[in-house]
Amino acid sequence: MFQFFSYYSFLIPFSFLCLCRPSFPARIFPESSSTVITVDTHNTTTTTWHGFTRFLDAGKGSQVSGMSELKEYFNRFGYLPIPDENNFTDIFDKQFESAVIAYQTNLGLPVTGKLDSDTISMMVSPRCGVSDTKTHGTTFQATKHFSYFYGKPRWGRQAPVILTYAFSQNNMIDYISLKDIKTVFKRAFSRWAQVIPVSFMEIEDYPSADIRIGFYYRDHGDGQPFDGVLGVLAHAFSPENGRFHLDASETWALDFETVKSRVAVDLESVATHEIGHILGLAHSSVKEAVMYPSLSPRSKKVDLKIDDVNGVQALYGSNPNFTFSSLLASENSFNKGSGLRNTRSSSKWNISFVVGVLLLFLCTR
């Protein structure tokens, strides 16, 4: 009878601890001997570039069937010129190694010159369609983080600068109301207007608007066709072109609580990013910046970071009402909030542990 009671006196608190399901803050563990690609397996049948995972660990001198498609990706985003013979090969040659190194450097990845897990994970991620470096006659002037289109084009208007925008009547999506779409874009435009002396005004006359917004499928006549779900999400052109195109194939979302699709893309995040291009910013190598080229599904990135602000203010100057202290305060508030959540999770675990030990002590007396 005593053995039976002792057994259950251990089992009760042990079960209690197991049922508590404590939450721990995220941690980075040292690399192990195995390589893990951080790709969302739920999206593997729909991501445009998921097939690139078969090139994992390929390096200079290797030859893998289909690598020519990978080289086309690097060409599309400005890292690899079209060869003289107009056909890419499946050989990982010295020129491709240089392209991989440039890609890794430009996007703030570990520079290995190989298609390691970090590089492959970035390549299969949905992203903006604007290229990162020189391609098809377009060049960029890069700084340490943010970058510009060649020549640092900007909207040359007399102060006060007011840019108009309009939505295409024929190229919209029907599962989000036009009112809600307009609200999202108004917020996105206002974020940039808060840091530079430029304001944005919606008008109804689409052809005459400075910025023309629409949703399009596949080849839509601008030489940069979309490619389906979770490939290129959108693209916009440098000043003073004003074209702003989003891929109509995506599952656009305003609220992930109501849209449960695993491939849902936050409309406001993409809108905020593409407005940066409209103003003259190219891509940033700072992963936290709005102007970083990739955005994972079901993620949100709408708040301008210091890198975004520095870049756009170098083009237009600062909004007289803007202060960097307010931006830093916002970032610190977010960081403190994250830390508080982690502290609360740890506290819950500590309380559960103490209760379990107390039960064990009482049951064995």
Mind spelling out the 3-state secondary structure of the chain?
A: CHHHHHHHHHHHHHHHHHHHCCCCCCCCCCCCCCCCCCCCHHHCCCCCCHHHHHHCCCCCCCECCCHHHHHHHHHHCCCCCCCCCCCCCCECCHHHHHHHHHHHHHCCCCCCCCCCHHHHHHHCCCECCCCCCCECCECEEECCCCEEECCCCCCCCCCCEEEEEEECCCCCCCCCCHHHHHHHHHHHHHHHHCCCCEEEEECCCCCCCCEEEEEECCCCCCCCCCCCCCCECEEECCCCCCEEEEECCCEEECCCCCCCCCCEEEHHHHHHHHHHHHHCECCCCCCCCCCCCECCCCCCCCCCCHHHHHHHHHHHCCCCCCCHHHHHHHHHHHHHHHHHHHHHHHHHHHHHHHHHHHHHHHHCC
CATH of residue 171's domain is 3.40.390.10
How confident is the model at residue 158, as a pLDDT? 85
Report whether 116 belongs to an annotated binding site: no
Give the pLDDT score at 19.
44
Is 210 among the annotated ligand-binding positions? Answer: yes
Domain span at 115: 47-123
pLDDT of residue 144: 59
Q: How far is CA 305 from the centre of its chain?
A: 14
What pLDDT is recorded for position 360? Answer: 45
Angle, helices 306-316/324-363, rounded to nearest 10 degrees: 170
Based on the fold, state whether residues 93 and 224 are members of the same structural domain: no
Residues 187 and 311 in one domain: yes
Q: Is 42 annotated as a binding residue?
A: no
Confirm whether 297 is domain-assigned. yes
What's the whole-model pTM score? 0.76
- In terms of domains, do 148 and 110 share one? no
Active site residues: 274
Report the pLDDT value the prediction gives residue 293, as an integer from 0 to 100: 96
How confident is the model at residue 348, as a pLDDT? 42
Give 10-residue mean pLDDT values along the chain (365 residues): 42 43 33 33 54 94 93 94 87 95 92 96 94 55 72 90 97 97 98 97 98 96 91 96 97 95 97 98 94 96 96 95 78 49 42 44 49
User: Residue 239: what pLDDT?
Assistant: 96
- Domain co-membership, 69 together with 161: no
Tell whether 64 and 147 lie within a shared domain.
no
pLDDT at site 36: 34
For residue 253, the number of C-alpha atoms closer than 13 Å in the C-beta half-sphere is 18
Residue 145 annotated as part of some ligand binding site: no
15, part of any domain: no
Would the annotation count 220 as a binding residue? yes
What total number of domains does the chain contain?
3
Domain boundary residue, one of 96, 123, 150? 123
